Amino acid sequence: MSSSSRDPRFDILFEPVQIGPVRTKNRFYQVPHCNGMGHGKPATLAAMRGVKAEGGWGVICTEEIEISPFSEIAPHFEGRLWDERDMPALQLMTDACHEHDALAGAEIFFNGYATPNRYSREIPMAPSHLPVRATDPIQARTMDKTDIKNVRRWHRNAALRARDVGFDLVYVYAGHDLGMPLHFLSRLTNRRTDEYGGSLENRVRLLRELIEDTKDAVGDRCGVVVRLAVDQLLGPMGVTSENEGSDAIAMLAELPDLWDVNIADWSNDSQTARFSQEGYQERYIAHVKKLTTKPVVGVGRYTSPDAMVSVIKRGVMDLIGAARPSIADPFLPNKIEQGRFDEIRECIGCNICVTGDNLSVPIRCTQNPTMGEEWRRGWHPERIAKAASQDTVLVVGAGPAGLEVARALGQRGYEVALADANTKPGGRLLNDASLPGLSTWMRVADYRLQQLQKMSNVNLYLDSELSADEVLAFGFNRVFLATGSTWRRDGLGRQHQAPVLDANLANVFTPDDVFAGAALPSPVLIYDDDHYYMAGALAERLRKQGLEVHLVTPSVKVSEFTEMTMEQFRIHSGLLKMGVQIQTNTALIGAAVIGGGLLVELAHTYSDARSHLECGSLLMVTMRDPKDALFNALQSQQGQWQAKGVKSIQLLGDAYAPGSVAAAVYAGHRAARELDAPELPLDSVPFRREMIALEGD
- What is the per-residue pLDDT across 610-646, written as a single tens digit (0 to 9) for each? 999 999 999 999 999 999 999 999 999 999 999 999 9
How many CB atoms are closer than 10 A to CB 164?
A: 14
Write out pLDDT tens, residues 154-164: 999 999 999 99
DSSP string, 443-456: HHHHHHHHHHHT-T
d(CA 269, CA 178): 12
Whether 216 has a pLDDT exceeding 70, the answer reads: yes
d(CA 357, CA 361): 6
Same fold, 392-484+627-674 and 487-624: no
Burial degree of 689 (CB within 10 A; 0-12, 13-18, 19+): exposed
> Which residue type, as a one-letter code, is found at position 393?
V
Give the residue from 523, 522, 526, 494 showing the smallest Cα distance to 511. 526
Write out pLDDT tens, residues 358-411: 999 999 999 999 999 999 999 999 999 999 999 999 999 999 999 999 999 999
Write out pLDDT tens, residues 537-565: 999 999 999 999 999 999 999 999 999 99
Domain formed by 392-484+627-674, architecture: 3-Layer(aba) Sandwich (3.40)
Cis amide bond preceding 523, omega within 30: yes
The proportion of the chain whose per-residue pLDDT surpasses 70, expressed as a percent, equals: 99
Whether 235 has a pLDDT exceeding 80, the answer reads: yes
Stretch 665-677: mean pLDDT: 97
Question: Where does the pLDDT of residue 688 fall: very low under 50, low under 70, confident under 90, or very high at 90 and above?
Answer: very high
Write out pLDDT tens, residues 328-352: 999 999 999 999 999 999 999 999 9
Cis amide bond preceding 681, omega within 30: no
pTM for the model stands at 0.96
Whether 316 has a pLDDT exceeding 50, the answer reads: yes
Stretch 581-591: mean pLDDT: 97
Task: Please report, to the nearest 10 degrees, the dihedral formed by the alpha carbons of residues 485, 486, 491, 497 taken in order.
Answer: -20
For residue 590, list its beta bridge partners.
Answer: 601
Write out pLDDT tens, residues 116-135: 999 999 999 999 999 999 99
Stretch 259-271: mean pLDDT: 94
> Which residue type, as a one-letter code, is found at position 199?
S
Cα dist. 441→289, 664, 667 in Å?
A: 33, 13, 18
d(CA 416, CA 455): 10
CATH code for residues 487-624: 3.50.50.60
Contact 582, 575 (CB under 8 A): yes
Q: What is the mean pLDDT of the chain?
A: 96
Whether 4 has a pLDDT exceeding 70, the answer reads: no
Backbone angles phi, psi at 35, to 5 degrees: -155, 0
DSSP string, 550-601: EEE-SSSSTTGGGGTTT-HHHHHHHHHHHT-EEE-SEEEEEEEEETTEEEEE
Question: Where does the pLDDT of residue 680 fall: very low under 50, low under 70, confident under 90, or very high at 90 and above?
Answer: confident
Write out pLDDT tens, residues 166-215: 999 999 999 999 999 999 999 999 999 999 999 999 999 999 999 999 99
Stretch 527-536: mean pLDDT: 98
Element (H, E) at 47: helix 42-54
pLDDT, residue 695, reads: 63
pLDDT, residue 1, reads: 43
pLDDT, residue 696, reads: 58
Write out pLDDT tens, residues 90-118: 999 999 999 999 999 999 999 999 999 99
Where in the sequence numbering do the catalytic residues fall?
34, 173, 176, 269
Domain-wise residue ranges, the chain: 3-358, 392-484+627-674, 487-624
Superfamily of domain 3-358: Aldolase class I (3.20.20.70)
Write out pLDDT tens, residues 418-432: 999 999 999 999 999
Whether 8 has a pLDDT exceeding 80, the answer reads: yes
> Which residue type, as a one-letter code, is found at position 324?
R
